[in-house]
């Protein structure tokens, strides 16, 4: 059974305490690897290595073109091992293999993309500002923020880590990565690829472990300049409190309960396809999942019928099985949480359209049938709270104003979608949806080139795109006075 290692200061090393915990295959409920259980001492080693590499190493001041070349080698390293990494994520997370392959390919592209942005920045001189006084010269410089502490989730183990690692390395930062204890294995492979690409010691560090034993010490560490967290709102609050104690830069990408507004002038089959993709992709374990669907009453019953038939036709099984579209949930804890939410939904006046239990023929594994509730009370937990599983809630609406009111009535604001054959209506609704990500006539397509993040309790800051790159920098102004000129405020000008 494979035992993972930490990666600190350019070396693979066991945790100081020597402890490991099992990685469980969610399709079989059996352990298949042992994950290094990093502790506070390991975090301290990693942060100090990152601090030294930033303060005294070559990486921050390295020509951006040289950093970009290294990032492109990392991208090639990921592509060379794409299928093996994808199969590892299937076993660690449970997602279908085609989805895992898509994720790993996106991770490689992310390194290429930020390599390109670093090259673009290298070609641009510092911004100069006309100060209205010829004796002064004003410049705006951007410098890497420093040591970044990154804590990442289990639903997209490699990809979510890369969203933080790639822009950080491209900007010249150093980083300590703490992935979720539920899915850490592909991040060890990332460390191997980064090591082989020639990233200097201390620039990238990996410490696996639990949240209390490794994540909290990373959030609390005084030598970290910026914290970047993706996960639950509850944990995000703790990370935010830790950042506030040290007055440190922070980015949070938290939960969602995203609405999908479907008008009665759209093609029902297209609507069903995108609704399905919006909630059943990655087993519904997606922060931006459009899990609240609002359907205009004219097509409500017909769409529900089509949706039920399509959900019941989804092939369920182990992620490596060809044709499977829905794998097991990631862990027993997550499975129990989703089942509890479904049971709570049954106790409301909502109609259970389909699903809600274990599929036939699966005695082991954390499998759950695609679940759809209709006519859901808008104060019910299944309508208002993030479930993070393949559970969809559907309600009717009559007018555009009513749809917008229902869609925006949420503490979350990560994503939203609208579907209509009327382009003007789509643009009008998109403008009024209170969310950081809005899809028109689709749901969930995600592009590295566009910023990612939400309003309200869904987070602070943005990842991806140029915005995600800019978030890895501090802004410095340099004001220069002409040494040949005279100021003469306290001393008279020489004769």
Same domain, 435 and 464: no
Supply the pLDDT for residue 312. Answer: 98
Give SS3 for 180: coil
Same domain, 124 and 196: yes
Domain of 386: which CATH number?
A: 3.40.309.10
Structural domain tally of the chain? 2
Quote the CA–CA distance of 282 and 97 in Å, as a whole number.
10
Q: What is the pTM of this model?
A: 0.96
Same domain, 21 and 93: yes
Report whether 489 contacts 161 (CB < 8 A).
no
pLDDT in tens, the chain (495 residues): 899 999 999 999 999 999 999 999 999 999 999 999 999 999 999 999 999 999 999 999 999 999 999 999 999 999 999 999 999 999 999 999 999 999 999 999 999 999 999 999 988 899 999 999 999 999 999 999 999 999 999 999 999 999 999 999 999 999 999 999 999 999 999 999 999 999 999 999 999 999 999 999 999 999 999 999 999 999 999 999 999 999 999 999 999 999 999 999 999 999 999 999 999 999 999 999 999 999 999 999 999 999 999 999 999 999 999 999 999 999 999 999 999 999 999 999 999 999 999 999 999 999 999 999 999 999 999 999 999 999 999 999 999 999 999 999 999 999 999 999 999 999 999 999 999 999 999 999 999 999 999 999 999 999 999 999 999 999 999 999 999 998 988 887 555
Supply the pLDDT for residue 495. Answer: 57
For residue 45, give the H/E element and its range. helix 40-56
Supply the pLDDT for residue 489. Answer: 87
Same domain, 235 and 290: no
Residues annotated as catalytic are 253
| Strand order across the 136-144 sheet | 127-129, 136-144, 473-481
Same domain, 269 and 242: no
Supply the pLDDT for residue 433. Answer: 98
Report whether 398 contacts 297 (CB < 8 A).
yes
Nearest Cα to Cα of residue 86 among 153, 5, 159, 35: 159
Q: Is residue 495 part of a domain?
A: no
CB neighbourhood size of 11 (10 A): 11
Q: Is residue 446 part of a domain?
A: no
Q: Is residue 485 part of a domain?
A: no
Same domain, 198 and 59: yes
Same domain, 247 and 308: no
Same domain, 189 and 273: no
Give SS3 for 451: coil
Q: Is residue 445 part of a domain?
A: no
Quote the CA–CA distance of 92 and 113 in Å, as a whole number.
27
Domain of 126: which CATH number?
A: 3.40.605.10
Q: Is residue 265 part of a domain?
A: yes
Report whether 211 contacts 218 (CB < 8 A).
no
Q: Which domain holds residue 143?
A: 2-255+458-479
Q: Is residue 45 part of a domain?
A: yes
Quote the CA–CA distance of 477 and 143 in Å, as a whole number.
11
User: Tokens representing 289?
Assistant: 């999942």
Looking only at the bridges linking them, the beta strands covering 6-8 and 2-3 are unpaired
Quote the CA–CA distance of 339 and 394 in Å, as a whole number.
18
Quote the CA–CA distance of 479 and 294 in Å, as a whole number.
54
Report whether 239 contacts 245 (CB < 8 A).
no
Say which DSSP state 208 is in. Answer: -
Same domain, 193 and 276: no
Last residue of a domain, one of 391, 414, 440: 440
Q: Is residue 489 part of a domain?
A: no
Sign of CA dihedral 10, 11, 14, 16: negative
Same domain, 379 and 471: no
Quote the CA–CA distance of 71 and 448 in Å, as a whole number.
15
Say which DSSP state 212 is in. Answer: I
Same domain, 109 and 57: yes
Quote the CA–CA distance of 397 and 374 in Å, as a whole number.
12
Report whether 399 contacts 299 (CB < 8 A).
no
User: Tokens representing 294?
Assistant: 């609002």
Same domain, 35 and 100: yes
Integer angstrom CA distances of residue 351 from 48, 235, 301, 347, 348 = 55, 32, 13, 10, 8
pLDDT in tens, 340-355: 999 999 999 999 999 9
Output phi, psi for 194, to 5 deg: -65, -40
Q: Is residue 432 part of a domain?
A: yes
User: Tokens representing 197?
Assistant: 């690409």
């Amino acid at each position: 059974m494979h035992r993972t290692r930490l990666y600190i200061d350019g070396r693979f090393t066991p945790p100081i305490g020597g402890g490991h915990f099992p990685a469980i295959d969610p399709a079989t409920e059996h352990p298949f690897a042992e994950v290094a259980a990093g502790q506070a001492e390991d975090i301290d080693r990693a942060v100090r290595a990152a601090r030294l590499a930033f303060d005294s190493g070559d990486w921050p001041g390295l020509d951006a073109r040289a950093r970009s070349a290294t990032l492109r080698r990392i991208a090639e390293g990921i592509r060379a091992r794409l299928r093996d990494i994808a199969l590892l994520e299937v076993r660690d997370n449970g997602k279908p293999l085609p989805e895992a392959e898509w994720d790993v390919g996106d991770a490689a592209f992310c390194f290429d993309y930020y390599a390109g942005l670093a090259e673009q920045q290298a070609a641009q001189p510092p911004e100069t500002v006309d100060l209205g006084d010829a004796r002064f010269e004003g410049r705006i410089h951007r410098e890497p923020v420093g040591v970044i502490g990154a804590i990442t989730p289990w639903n997209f183990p490699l990809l979510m880590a890369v969203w933080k690692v790639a822009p950080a390395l491209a900007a010249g930062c150093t980083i300590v990565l703490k992935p979720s204890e539920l899915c850490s294995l592909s991040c060890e492979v990332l460390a191997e690829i980064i090591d082989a690409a020639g990233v200097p010691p201390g620039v990238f560090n990996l410490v696996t472990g639990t949240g209390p034993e490794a994540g909290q010490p990373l959030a609390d560490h005084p030598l970290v300049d910026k914290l970047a967290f993706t996960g639950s709102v509850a944990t995000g609050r703790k990370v935010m409190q830790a950042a506030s104690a040290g007055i440190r830069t922070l980015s949070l990408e938290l939960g969602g309960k995203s609405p999908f507004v479907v008008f009665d002038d759209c093609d029902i089959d297209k609507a069903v396809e995108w609704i399905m993709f919006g909630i059943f992709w990655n087993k519904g374990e997606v922060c931006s999942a459009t899990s609240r669907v609002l359907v205009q009453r004219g097509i409500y019953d017909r769409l529900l019928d089509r949706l039920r038939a399509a959900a019941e036709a989804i092939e369920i099984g182990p992620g490596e099985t060809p044709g499977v579209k829905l794998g097991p949930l990631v862990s027993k804890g997550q499975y129990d949480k989703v089942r509890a939410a479904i049971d709570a939904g049954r106790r409301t006046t909502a109609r259970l359209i389909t699903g809600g239990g274990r599929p036939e023929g699966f005695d082991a594994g954390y499998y759950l049938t695609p679940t759809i509730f209709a006519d859901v009370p808008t104060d019910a937990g299944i309508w208002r709270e993030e479930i993070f599983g393949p559970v969809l809630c559907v309600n009717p609406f009559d007018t555009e104003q009513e749809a917008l009111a229902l869609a925006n009535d949420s503490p979350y604001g990560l994503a939203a979608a609208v579907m209509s054959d009327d382009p003007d209506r789509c643009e009008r609704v998109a403008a009024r949806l209170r969310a950081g990500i809005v899809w028109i006539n689709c749901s969930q397509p995600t592009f590295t080139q566009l910023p990612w993040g939400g309003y309200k309790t869904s987070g602070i800051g943005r990842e991806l795109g140029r915005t995600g790159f800019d978030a890895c920098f501090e802004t410095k102004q340099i004001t220069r006075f002409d040494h040949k000129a005279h100021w003469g405020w306290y001393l008279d000008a020489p004769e």
